[in-house]
Amino acid sequence: MTQDDRFTEIARKAARDYNDPPELSRGDMDAMWSAIERESFAKPFRTPSAVRPVPGSPWSWATRGILPLAATLMLGVGIGRFALPRPQTAPAEIGPRTAATDTVKVPEPYQNTTSRYLGQTTALLAALPAEVKEGSADEQFLRRAHDLLLTTRLLMDSPAAADPRFQSLLEDLELVLAQVVRLQSIQNRAELDLIRQALEQRDVLPRLRTAVADISADD
Amino acid sequence: MTSPAVAVEAQRFVSREPELIARAVAGDRLAARELYDAHAPRVFRLAFRFCGDAELARELTQETFIRAFAQLGRFRGDSALSTWLHRVAVSVISNAMRKVKRFRARETDLDEAAPIAAETRHADPDLRDALHRAIDELPDIYRTTLIMHDVEGYTHEEIAGVLGVAEGTCKSRLSVARAQLREKLAHFAKEWFA
């Protein structure tokens, strides 16, 4: 190695701390996202049910992993759109919520499907701490979370979400499930803590259990 | 080094990207957020390397994504999304830096932006400061290539894709950049090997 080469190597090492970037905190990420969202998505939120796959895009999760539950729901959404009027509700605020004191009402044609969906979601979220403890969420767990996220979005777009309390619960579940799906592997402790925080701050599990009980009582 | 788990995860994300792009174009904020979460940290790092100011780097990252989402419908997938996104980022950063340079004294940046890090063990602090100053003084095209390659670790292929030049051009720019640095730091080289 010539002196020039050695000097270049030393200089390269010294260059690595040139404007050494700090770590971006979750707060920084969220703050930037708020501004981006305001600028880029001023239009109302459109659910993925309005989205069509582009040619060649790998919608394998959509074609492969659709649960019978989702299929039932899609049929139900179609029927419900004709059969039941859907009241206009203002978009729910994102933020901590308190557990609902009134019962959650879901239109009769959706009760079975919704009840099953809530049961499966409760089971998945309850299993999350164990998955975390083991340190490895398997493929099946994540696929289940993905399917439940899809079902959540279908429900949000259906008359089943006419009750604002249930709509609000679905929005929180969508957020949490999206975080779980995005997690992809249970290696990232910070992400897991955020999920735990979201679950606690939004009272998701107690509200979920209340909704399960309410809907089961209506069956 | 990237762990196999991280590599698998990254591969899995890349395979879902076309779907996320289609959904983001259709206005799905969650899909857009996933894309943002995956790419924003690297865009921020690059912006910070160029400007040395956290607040400005956050603004540049923000601006990059606002512009990218506005143009996402025109993204045809000819290159990887990250390449396209970094092209937007480099354009946003370069424009901003041209304006910033007119108003900001370079020395202040250097003093504030060069923390005493573990790397200090590898190089004389004087050399490091002089090197950082020399990087600041490089012409933009050489500085961009040097920062992306030697500082941030992008490959020539990635840089060529981002800057829209041939890989050969990229290599030659890097070589010119290094030669200019070597020239500016010649007296350190003499001291070092004396």
**Which of B36, B57, B131 is the closest to A15 by Cβ?**
B131
Confidence at A19, pLDDT banded by 50, 70, 90: very high
CB atoms within 10 A of CB A194: 15
pLDDT at A132: 61
Question: In chain B, which residue's Cα lies nearest the Cα of A38?
Answer: B66
Q: Of A156, A201, A124, which Cα lies nearest the Cα of A46?
A: A156
Confidence at A22, pLDDT banded by 50, 70, 90: very high
Tens of pLDDT along A100-110? 446 777 777 67
pLDDT at B130: 86
The owner of tokens 């500082």 is: B151
Cross-chain residue pair B36–A19, CB shorter than 8 Å:
no
| Packing angle of the helix pair B29-51, B81-103 (nearest 10 deg) | 40
pLDDT at A91: 45
Q: What is the DSSP string of A108-120?
A: GGGHHHHHHHHHH
Residues 38-67 of chain B whose Cβ lies under 8 A from any Cβ of chain A: 40-41, 44-45, 48-52, 54, 57-58, 61-62, 65-66
Helix, strand, coil abundance in chain A, percent, nearest 5 = 70, 0, 30
Q: Of B183, B180, B179, B157, which Cα lies nearest the Cα of B170?
A: B157
CB atoms within 10 A of CB A212: 18
Cross-chain residue pair A24–B40, CB shorter than 8 Å:
yes
A193 has pLDDT over 50: yes
**Using H for helix, E for strand and C for coil, what is the string for A9-48?**
HHHHHHHCCCCCCCCCCHHHHHHHHHHHHHHHCCCCCCCH
Judge contact between A124 and A148, C-beta under 8 A: yes
Q: Which two tokens stand for residue A177?
A: 């499930």
Handedness of CA B113, B82, A142, A74 (dihedral sign): positive
Q: Which two tokens stand for residue B86?
A: 């970094």
pLDDT at B85: 95
Low-confidence ranges of chain B (pLDDT < 50): 1, 110, 114-122
pLDDT at B190: 67
Collect contacts of A27-34 with beta carbons under 8 A, ≥24 apart. Answer: A28/B58, A29/B36, A29/B37, A29/B40, A29/B41, A31/B58, A32/B40, A32/B58, A32/B61, A32/B62, A32/B65, A33/B33, A33/B36
Residue A96 backbone zone (phi > 0: left; psi -120 to 50: alpha; other: beta): beta
Q: Which two tokens stand for residue B6?
A: 């991280």
Q: Which two tokens stand for residue B18?
A: 């076309």
Q: Which two tokens stand for residue B84?
A: 């396209």
| Packing angle of the helix pair B4-25, B29-51 (nearest 10 deg) | 120
Judge contact between B142 and B176, C-beta under 8 A: yes
B31 interface with A at CB cutoff 8 Å: yes
Query: Residue A55 has what DSSP assignment?
Result: T
Q: What is the DSSP string of chain B?
A: ---HHHHHHHHHHHHHHHHHHHHHHTT-HHHHHHHHHHHHHHHHHHHHHHH--HHHHHHHHHHHHHHHHHHGGG--SSS-HHHHHHHHHHHHHHHHHHHHHHH--HHHHHHHH----GGGGGS-HHHHHHHHHHHHHS-HHHHHHHIIIIIT---HHHHHHHHTS-HHHHHHHHHHHHHHHHHHTHHHHHHHH-
Q: Of B112, B133, B58, B53, which Cα lies nearest the Cα of B89?
A: B58
pLDDT at A5: 74
B189 phi/psi in degrees, rounded to 5:
-60, -40
Cross-chain residue pair B29–A43, CB shorter than 8 Å:
no
Judge contact between A173 and A152, C-beta under 8 A: yes
Please give the residue that has the higher pLDDT: either A15 or B34: B34
Judge contact between A168 and A92, C-beta under 8 A: yes
pLDDT at A71: 55
pLDDT at B123: 55
Distance between A210 CA and the closest CA of chain B, angstroms: 27
End-to-end distance of chain B based on CA atoms, in angstroms?
35
pLDDT at A88: 47
pLDDT at B170: 95
Tens of pLDDT along A112-164? 778 888 888 888 887 776 666 655 556 677 778 888 888 888 788 777 888 88
Of the candidate ranges A34-43, A184-193, B79-88, the one whose mean pLDDT is the lowest: A184-193
pLDDT at A50: 36
Distance between A105 CA and the closest CA of chain B, angstroms: 27
Distance between A177 CA and the closest CA of chain B, angstroms: 11
Tens of pLDDT along A44-70? 443 333 333 443 444 333 333 344 555
Q: Which two tokens stand for residue A191?
A: 């992400």
